[in-house]
Chain A
Amino acid sequence: MAQQVVVDSALLDRISALEQQVADQKPGESHFMVVGLTTFGFVYNKTKFTPPGGPSQTTKTNSFPDADSYELSPMFLWRHGTKLLVEFEPSYTGGSLGVNWADVSYFAAPGLTIKVGYFVVPFGIYNKRLAAGWIDKVAPDPMGIDQPGTDYGVEVSGGLPLGNMKWSYDVSLTNGLQLLPDGELQNVGIVDNNLNKMVSGRLGLLPFSNSSLEVGVSGLYGGVADAGSSYNNANASMYGADLSYVKSFNPFLLNVKGQISWLTVNRQNYINPVDNSSYTFNNKTTSAFAQFSIRPTGANNAFIKNLELAFRYVNYTTPSNSLWGQKYSEEDLGLDYWLTWRTVLKFTYAWSHSPSTAFVAAGGTPGLTDQNIVYLQFSIQL
């Protein structure tokens, strides 16, 4: 009888230990994880500047820590159940430490997510979906597409079915942009510059049941002048359209992306930094890119199927007679090799042409700038 008691006690101890092990491994409702990305590489840049009537000057650089070729951005994801998600991504790039986004999303209902904090403002498809180095098909970002960037505010978004189609919406209310003395716009940051808020949004439609095609339209509007400034009800409006088409044509996978945006700041008088006189210009900016890439995903050869050929055209036209007026165009030709689905080695050759349209009397630089740039870039999602 005494021996029986000893056996039972050992069994109970073992059961207790197993119960503790199970309790330790129970996942719980919360989950925390770290992902992110890193990108590094090498850039060779040859710039030829030709002033009006003068001899051209050529400068050459080669660099590892270029902004387009170095980034380390760990992303912290913290889920509370299946309704709340915290996203935080600090980033070291271009020699400085910053934050790409820091926000909380609440999955309120099917097709309705509410986000608050510091997030990528919904406009177009590039900034929110394609900018990561391990996603982007060529090394540099398209010039001018970064507007309106990241901001503090609240956002509602969702994707919903529509028969065989699908549509999505993404609308935000944020602090907005700030008009600088020379007429340029910049992100205002956490300390707002006025009482106005900026409304921005995008509507997307995927007309085919296989989701291969997506078209989107975007809009933005907000007051941009500093409170108490001499600007006359300064406001910015921006409209845009985007397109994405991804489809397999065996053995190739074709990927087409494009985006265009038109930014307008209503007529204002600016101060000439040279003589403090007043001057004005038509403050309109156009940014656009179109790209396609093709990858032989159905090839039998393992090396060939991991290659991808990409081309991008960029156009960035800033206001004539402003201090930063230019008609910038760029072509990028890239050859990528995919080491894994989220690891890529990119070779990109970019050439750009940029005649100045700046207002010389206010200190703008006239002339023509041509660049030839070679990128060798490695990027991985961590």
Chain B
Amino acid sequence: MKIARLKKSSWILIGGLAILSAVVMNSCVESKQVAAKGGAQLWAENCQRCHNTPSPNSFSHDQWITVGMHMQTRAQLTDKEREKIVAFLTQ
């Protein structure tokens, strides 16, 4: 019985956290200054947080899309950052 109560409270806690997270994530917006940044600037600012800035010639168009997804999971880039950086690298 005790286990059942714990499970119920855990589910309530998880549900509450999920709702709270969705609300917080949905309210996260970028400033105009950040929104105006281009891919080249974001490439220069974000890649060097961990490693040297990569040369655009290092990978092909399709490869950069794949590498961009991989890097997003590593460095927790925002979706817009990834899109703009990949667009710059595939020009």
Q: Which residues of A contact B (CB under 8 A)?
A: 27, 31, 33, 35, 77, 79, 82, 85, 87, 105, 107, 110-113, 115, 128-130, 132, 134-135, 157-164, 166-170, 204, 209-212, 214, 244, 246, 253, 255, 338, 340-342
How many Å lie between the Cα of A77 and that of B65 in the bound state? 11
How many Å lie between the Cα of A341 and that of B57 in the bound state? 12
Interface string of B26-67 (1 = CB under 8 A from A): 001111011000000000011011111111001101110111
Smallest CB–CB gap between A249 and chain B, Å? 13
Residues of A within 8 A of B13 (CB): none
Q: From DSSP, what is the main secondary structure of chain A's interface residues? A: strand
Smallest CB–CB gap between B43 and chain A, Å? 11
Q: Does B76 contact A (CB under 8 A)?
A: yes
Q: Knowing A77-B70, A85-B70 touch, does A27 contact B52 (C-beta < 8 A)? A: no
Q: Knowing A27-B62, A82-B69 touch, does A111 contact B78 (C-beta < 8 A)? A: yes
The reply to whether B62 and A31 contact each other, CB–CB distance below 8 Å, is: yes
How many Å lie between the Cα of A317 and that of B33 in the bound state? 45
Residue of A nearest to B61 (CB): A27
14 A-B contact pairs sorted by A residue (CB < 8 Å): A105-B69, A107-B72, A111-B28, A113-B73, A159-B78, A161-B30, A164-B33, A166-B78, A167-B28, A169-B76, A209-B34, A210-B45, A338-B52, A341-B52
- Other A-B pairs, 17, CB within 8 Å; known A82-B65, A111-B25: A31-B63, A33-B59, A77-B69, A77-B70, A107-B72, A111-B28, A111-B78, A132-B51, A134-B51, A160-B25, A163-B29, A164-B31, A170-B76, A211-B49, A244-B49, A246-B48, A341-B55
Residues of A within 8 A of B75 (CB): 129, 159
* Chain A to chain B: the 4 pairs with minimum beta-carbon distance, closest first: A168-B76, A161-B30, A159-B76, A341-B52
Residues of A within 8 A of B7 (CB): none
How many Å lie between the Cα of A135 and that of B28 in the bound state? 31
Smallest CB–CB gap between B44 and chain A, Å? 9
The reply to whether B28 and A161 contact each other, CB–CB distance below 8 Å, is: yes
Q: Knowing A170-B76, A341-B53 touch, does A211 contact B45 (C-beta < 8 A)? A: yes
Smallest CB–CB gap between A107 and chain B, Å? 7
How many Å lie between the Cα of A124 and that of B2 in the bound state? 36
The reply to whether A159 and B77 contact each other, CB–CB distance below 8 Å, is: yes
The reply to whether A113 and B72 contact each other, CB–CB distance below 8 Å, is: yes
Q: Knowing A253-B48, A342-B54 touch, does A79 contact B69 (C-beta < 8 A)? A: yes
Residue of B nearest to A136 (CB): B51
Q: Does B8 contact A (CB under 8 A)?
A: no
Q: Which residues of B contact A (CB under 8 A)?
A: 25, 28-31, 33-34, 45-46, 48-55, 58-59, 61-63, 65-67, 69-70, 72-81
Residue of B nearest to A338 (CB): B52
A160 contact from B28, B51, B59, B73, Cβ within 8 A: B28
The reply to whether B50 and A204 contact each other, CB–CB distance below 8 Å, is: no
Residues of A within 8 A of B50 (CB): 129-130, 135
How many Å lie between the Cα of A132 and that of B61 in the bound state? 24
Residues of B within 8 A of A33 (CB): 59, 62-63, 66-67
Q: Knowing A111-B28, A342-B58 touch, does A212 contact B67 (C-beta < 8 A)? A: no
Residue of B nearest to A119 (CB): B73
Residues of A within 8 A of B81 (CB): 159
How many Å lie between the Cα of A53 and that of B27 in the bound state? 65
How many Å lie between the Cα of A244 and that of B75 in the bound state? 12
Residues of A within 8 A of B55 (CB): 340-341
Smallest CB–CB gap between B48 and chain A, Å? 5
Residues of B within 8 A of A82 (CB): 65, 69
Residues of A within 8 A of B58 (CB): 341-342
Residues of B within 8 A of A111 (CB): 25, 28, 78-79
Residues of B within 8 A of A341 (CB): 51-55, 58
How many Å lie between the Cα of A212 and that of B45 in the bound state? 7
The reply to whether A161 and B74 contact each other, CB–CB distance below 8 Å, is: no
Smallest CB–CB gap between A217 and chain B, Å? 14
Smallest CB–CB gap between A214 and chain B, Å? 7
Residues of B within 8 A of A87 (CB): 70, 73
How many Å lie between the Cα of A86 and that of B11 in the bound state? 30
Residues of B within 8 A of A157 (CB): 73, 76
How many Å lie between the Cα of A105 and that of B71 in the bound state? 12
The reply to whether A163 and B78 contact each other, CB–CB distance below 8 Å, is: no
Residues of B within 8 A of A158 (CB): 25, 76
